[in-house]
Amino acid sequence: MKPSKIISRLIATAVSAQKNAYCPYSRYPVGAAILTESGRIFAGCNVENASYGLALCAERVAIFNAVTRRQLGIRAVCVVANSAKPCGACRQVMFEFSTRETELYLVDLNPRTRRQKVRRTYVHKMLPDAFDPLSSGLLPAHPLNLIKARSSLSAQRRTGKARRKR
């Protein structure tokens, strides 16, 4: 199955971001890109530090990059690395801003041959029994509770009741 133009652009953005990774300690460059509900794409790369606990993964950099621009809903995530797999912390952060339909593209990019192997799955499948702030009661009923609004929108899409914005 050939990816759509927008998914191809998402993958290309993540591949490009990987080139900017600051990883002198692990020598494991990772690039990520997210597609938001508004159709915008945000990139991130891993950034390491001599104090290892202060490093930040590419996935979270991309998500936090979008959040700073009030882009909170994620439609798709792409991670590029040699054997690309998000860590547990990144999976939880992705879950926070995703719906059940949020796609996850794992791109295994061989550093020698530059060949790509793309695997498509869903964010919610990568973290079974995720800590859900809605079901835990942590998120109060509030107009800024965008996660709840996205979950409602996601349910409407599944049933075909979503209205188009004009």
- Which residues are annotated as catalytic? 59
What the block records as the tokens of 114 is 């530059």
Neighbours of 35 (CB within 10 A): 25
DSSP-assigned letter for residue 67: H
Sign of CA dihedral 31, 34, 40, 44: negative
Task: Answer whether 66's CB lies under 8 Å from 76's CB.
Answer: no
CA 115/CA 83 separation, integer angstroms: 12
Give, to the nearest 10 degrees, the angle between helix 88-96 and helix 58-67.
20
